[in-house]
Amino acid sequence: MSSQEPKSDWLYQLKRKMLLSILGVLTVTIVVTMVFIAVKLRDTLVNDSKVRTKELAVTIDSNLHHLMILRAPDAIQKTLEKIVEENEAVSQVFILNNQSKVTYSSNKEAIGTSIDQYEEGSCRVCHTLAGTAPETDAIVLDTDDETHRNISLIYNEEDCYECHGSTATINGKLIIDRSLESTYSLIAGIELILIGSGLLCLIVLVPLFSRLLSRGIDKYILEIATRNEELRLLYVMVESLSKTLDMEVLKGIVIDIFKDILAADEMVLVLARGQHDYSASVWTSASGKIERKKISEDDTENEVVQSWLEGTLNVTKVSADVKEICMPIEKGGQRLALVVARKGDGQFDRVRLNLGAVISSHIAVAFDNARLYSIAITDELTKTFTKRHFRQCIDHAFAEYQKYGNKFALLMMDLDKFKQVNDNHGHVAGDAVLQHLGEILSHSVRENDLVFRYGGEEFTVILPATDAKGALFVAERIRAATEAAVFEPGTIDLKLTISIGVATCPDAPTVHDLIVDADQALYAAKHQGRNRVIVSDKKYEYS
């Protein structure tokens, strides 16, 4: 949001018309102006409400799509309830299946009820005749406080076939009811000002009255424009947050959102990685880029981060000079992130701080969704990624190479003589060894490298932007760390080694070839005596 007043030229033109009319024929002008405002302003704001409601429907539908794929009915229900709790204007949200039965609703009492679109009064506005499609997907219901209803179709996509089959085109409807009470109250307030000003014009000098009226209208115009701008920004940001479940991508989006909202000169984003562990990233207006940050005991953020980790910082904290803000991001008691923003010159604007507080709840939902997705693709024992996720990541890495030329390397590794651990010491000890190895691998690679449990005691690592020389260096570091480690210290004190095969892209022309080359290099390492790294030297002829 710009520090200047939001532009609302059409509203200011409306004000000039009203003032000129008052200076002309007072009585007629008041009547004409009231009619004009009642019609023009109502239609404009209602249409704007329709657009914002539809944008909200698209965002909600995107989030529900992810939750439906994950088969999380409780999360879908909680999401609908949360939308109504956090959005005062939204009165209800519910989903109808193909039999017009309410399957999910922000009002739990409505779940299970059926709606006949040709009998229900709120439905017959659109469903006028059986067998014909409705004329519109958005209407204004004639209720006590008038409600704007948006209907979005939930289409049957390929991801849905497992539950819904492939014959149906539509799985149901997402319906959002948004109250227009605040919009009409705003219109009524302006109309009251006009009526009062007309009476005062009879006894007060027109120039003085015109000046006072102009200031009064400006106040409402600014309020309308400011609210409209805040709402527009809110929907744009929520939409961008809903487009990814990747924590790294989400991190960049969140930093961009807060630096724009707060007009900050420095942003630090701290992400929780366990009870007492975290990672931090920093952005400054001077560098203009996001970089990894290691917070030492001397850093100004250290005290705040420690308070946050200990649970003593759980509400937004603004410094006395309003130049620093510390905002914890939590959901359901789950510590997710900490946002630290600083201002070099001047102070943070209170309006911007309020908008930041509003968007923080949406960011908490985005981070929590990303956290749940991370759990779904993470091996529970070793805390590395699963084999299923490996396939998605290596296909994506290869696609990035084909599109942008971004080379990468693949490590395929296997613990030497691991079967003897299970045979001699049992599977509990074997699991402890694998858990320890997962920690070794995670600490031996960079933050953007990806570690996967490929199966049993076999692991893989994808190294972005890495050639054969760099991959060999990382592989040797893993091999040396594994050889130096003592597994199950103080009990059975195991010493183990690891064999590693390395292959690189673009040396391999396809993903399949890359995996085969790394696997064959691993086999060669085993064959040549184990506890070594072999880089694939296979050559391909390209036509």
Q: Across the chain, how many H-helices and E-strands are there?
A: 15, 16
Q: Which helix (H) or strand (E) holds 209?
A: helix 206-241
> For residues 512 and 92, what is the distance between their CA atoms, to the nearest angstrom?
50
Around 420, how many Cα atoms within 13 Å sit in the side-chain half-sphere? 7
Residue type, 352: R
What are the φ and ψ backbone dihedral angles of 256, each rounded to 5 degrees?
-60, -40
Let me know: does 21 contact 35? Beta carbons within 8 Å. Answer: no
Q: DSSP 3-state assignment of 172?
A: strand
State the Cα torsion 97-98-100-106 to the nearest 10°: 10
Question: What angle is formed at CA 19 by the lines to CA 15 and CA 25, rounded to 5 degrees?
Answer: 140
Amino acid present at 443:
H
Q: Which backbone phi and psi does 180 adopt, to 5 degrees?
A: -100, 15
Nearest to 177 by CA among 148, 202, 208, 213: 148
Asked whether 94 and 104 are in contact (CB, 8 A), the reply is yes
For 141, residues 6+ apart whose C-beta sits below 8 A from its C-beta are 122, 125, 147, 148, 149, 177
Joined together, the tokens standing for residue 540 give 């391909």
The residue among 328, 388, 365 whose CA lies nearest residue 250 is 365
- The pair of structure tokens assigned to 38 is 């009642």
CA distance 347 to 416: 60
The verdict on whether 229 is a catalytic residue reads no
Secondary-structure percent of the chain, ordered helix, strand, coil, rounded to 5? 50, 20, 30
Of 348, 466, 460, the residue nearest 393 (C-alpha): 460
Query: Is there a contact between 413 and 478 (Cβ–Cβ < 8 Å)?
Result: yes
How far is 338 from 242, CA to CA, in rounded Å?
Answer: 20
CB atoms within 10 A of CB 287: 10
Q: Which amino acid is at 142?
A: D
Q: Which of 410, 362, 380 is nearest to 522 (CA)?
A: 410
- Strand locations in 404-535 (E): 408-415, 450-455, 458-464, 498-505, 533-535
The burial of 240, by beta-carbon neighbours within 10 Å (0-12 exposed, 13-18 middle, 19 or more buried), is given as middle
DSSP-derived letter for residue 110 is G
Active-site hit among 119, 457, 488, 541:
457
The two three-digit tokens of residue 497, written as one number: 């080694």
Structure tokens at 467: 């050639």
The answer to whether the CB of 382 falls within 8 A of the CB of 430 is: no
Q: Which residues are catalytic?
A: 457
